Structure 1
Amino acid sequence: MRPFLALFLALAFVNPAAAADASAPAKELLEIMVGSASDAGGDSDYFSEDRLNRLFSDDFAKLYRAAWKKQESDENGGYLLGYDPITMAQDGCPIKDLSIETLDDQGGWLPVIARFKAFYCFSDDNKDKVEIRQFIMVPKGDGWVIDDIQSVVNNRVEGSVKANLEELSK
């Protein structure tokens, strides 16, 4: 009986962030991406105030707000990034073949990998091209939040939303 009690107590005091679904914030954004890329369109505000507070790290949200403030002071108006932060393009096809995978802990952060086809309707050259996005998840409170969205090409990070926000906030 004691081994079961020890196991129960160990599970009862597991770090809540470790027990939470680390991919949940990324999945919410990916649902928005799928909806906004569909023929019907949909909600495409990845960075609403509610989502900034719930789905993103404090550091990411701070950079986003600083970049937006800088853009407003430059009177540029319009979209902050000029592209969809997940497809990393201005235009695309309805998303297909979406898959999501949470990888192992990388020493305080978790990568959530999304694979999808977004440009197959443009040409035969793109019909089998798979886009890879890496969501950098960090613990916050009792769950996980997004600290960056990165484009991965040939196993290398080729683009970072957070780096773009840093540049825009200067």
Structure 2
Amino acid sequence: MKKISLPLAFLLGLSAPAFAGDATAPVKEIMDATMKNWSGTDADWIDIFDDSRLTRLYSKDFVTKYQAAVQNPAADEDGISPFDYDVIVNGQDACPLQDLAYAPKPAANGTTEVVVTFKKATCMDDGSDKQAVTTVRFEVIDEAGKPVIDDVITAGDPGQPDNSLKNTMVQIAKGE
């Protein structure tokens, strides 16, 4: 296979991709684990922040904030996670996820936003809107030539701003 140098590619009117890899790849791995976690089977819970995923799928800045949050004495009692909820479904309860869809946005300022939608309450009998669609936005950046998740954004409570997982980790590290 013949390689074309970037200056030659520019002269030929070709543009270089924003990422060396697929920006949805780390998001899909996290969502696959989340789908398995809420599948309704007795499968072991998959930690989306275990060491192998943390260093491979997340940005260095995200990892630093996560590691600081884990050190906080208020971290979850299981000693595994600083969170007492699933940060992807944005809650402690969910049903098997349905109607999962990915929508990567065009890269802007070095970040590709991958919007993931799904239904998480289809089995609930507590008055939840069973057809409500949950939206999670993953901010993916290129680090060392590969796409990594730099932040996870979920919807805030009604009338409140959206939640940045990185901001939440900073607050946990401060003991807030």
TM-score range, shorter chain: 0.7 to 0.9
**Which has the larger displacement, 115-124 or 13-22?**
13-22
**1:15 Cα deviation (Å)?**
5.3
Q: How does 1:16-27 map to 2 (within 5 A)?
A: 18-27=19-28
| 2:121 equivalent in structure 1 | 119
Q: What 5-or-longer segments of structure 1 have no aligned partner? A: none
C-alpha contact 1:138 1:147 (8 A) present in aligned 2: yes
**Which has the larger displacement, 127-136 or 117-126?**
117-126
In structure 2, the CA distance between the partners of 1:21 and 1:30, relative to structure 1 (3 Å rule), is same
Q: How does 1:13-92 map to 2 (within 5 A)?
A: 18-40=19-41, 41-71=43-73, 77-78=77-78, 79-92=81-94
How many residues are aligned here? 161
Q: What 5-or-longer segments of structure 2 have no aligned partner? A: none
Q: Which has the higher helix share?
A: 1
In structure 2, the CA distance between the partners of 1:142 and 1:158, relative to structure 1 (3 Å rule), is same
C-alpha contact 1:17 1:140 (8 A) present in aligned 2: no
**AA in 2 matched with 1:122:** M
| 2:145 equivalent in structure 1 | 142
Percentage of matched positions with identical amino acids:
30
Partners of 2:48 and 2:75 in 1: how far apart? Answer: 22
**Which has the larger displacement, 156-165 or 59-68?**
156-165
In structure 2, the CA distance between the partners of 1:6 and 1:56, relative to structure 1 (3 Å rule), is closer
Could you say what the CA RMSD is over the residues aligned between the two structures, in angstroms? 2.6
C-alpha contact 1:17 1:143 (8 A) present in aligned 2: no
Partners of 2:53 and 2:167 in 1: how far apart? Answer: 19
| 1:160 equivalent in structure 2 | 164
TM-score of the superposed pair, with normalisation by structure 1 = 0.83
Deviation by residue 1:105-144 (Cα, 9 ceiling, x = unmatched): 1211010010000012214641210000000111111111
**Which has the larger displacement, 27-36 or 76-85?**
76-85
**1:24 Cα deviation (Å)?**
0.4
In structure 2, the CA distance between the partners of 1:128 and 1:169, relative to structure 1 (3 Å rule), is same
In structure 2, the CA distance between the partners of 1:119 and 1:23, relative to structure 1 (3 Å rule), is same
**Which has the larger displacement, 129-138 or 119-128?**
119-128
Deviation by residue 1:7-49 (Cα, 9 ceiling, x = unmatched): 9x629x9757624101100100000000000111344201011
2:154 is the counterpart of 1:151: yes
Partners of 2:145 and 2:138 in 1: how far apart? Answer: 18
